[in-house]
Structure 1
């Protein structure tokens, strides 16, 4: 999976060759076909791994902070996680019309919507905030930012852009007292992930 994701990330679906994946993974064609029947099957497995590749951040007092952390951890993991990068490249890639790319969009939207609805139930959102609109809007914004980072060949910029997205969006939907407590600055994803890993280690 990691070898396939690396090749897909570097070359896209159409240009990726199974021979390159086999060489990088150091496995035989028979071993590959035992698990995956085709390049398309392997690509779908990488795509399907996108949401699960990102660790769930630690629960926070504020559900809006959890909402921010989901996206910021995603942006941070793009710089270190080969499976996530390969999955994102395949999801955004315009080649390979036989691939189904809707799964990650639906899963990210459902995850964001669930956390936003919990935030609304706790009174963290302004009355006019429509979670059904905000959740897919953020997912779509991330898709656009990812495309831009690929075009500019600088995935590390996703951390800065994600921070900017939340700092511009949340003032329009968050209760001011909650907004004032949120950490939306660059590096939040790394900090949230480190806290989650530390909690897991000491548990």
Structure 2
């Protein structure tokens, strides 16, 4: 059956001589893999748009029982690939798409998550922006969609009010702790590796 869907390219790998396999996160069907025949041939008009982080409208021949779908056509809607190097932009981009890739299953539709990712990617495609802050916003919305309620008012290690602490020392920054789940002031158990904390720095 021929279907149309909006999609974000999560991953691309070479396949045989001229083709490539792309992992997409789609609005209508969740995560799936498509084959782009001749996708590495410069003469193929689709070769340049199937890059990780690009937002596309796709047409494909889809069979639910088939693991790899056949791509028919696509058009580029947005791309974060700017000519100049921008480590903050690309750091936020690849962390977001990697997180979605690692936490979603094949054919598992999640409209809320797709909408969040599309919104974040459109923001990251702007010429200028606060990309670490954008990633922090994405991360908080992401875990909420997954059903977790992080602690956002007090430090998860000390219980100290975060607003008061940041007013006293604005440059301290915060960290998001995956376990136990919430925001923390730098130092404390985090520096010592307490509770096997996994964190992302928010500035």
Give the TM-score normalised by the residue count of structure 2: 0.29
Structure whose residues are more often strand by fraction? 2
**Which has the larger Rg?**
2
Structure whose residues are more often helix by fraction? 1
Which structure ranks higher in relative contact order (CA pairs < 8 Å, sequence separation ≥ 6)? Answer: 1
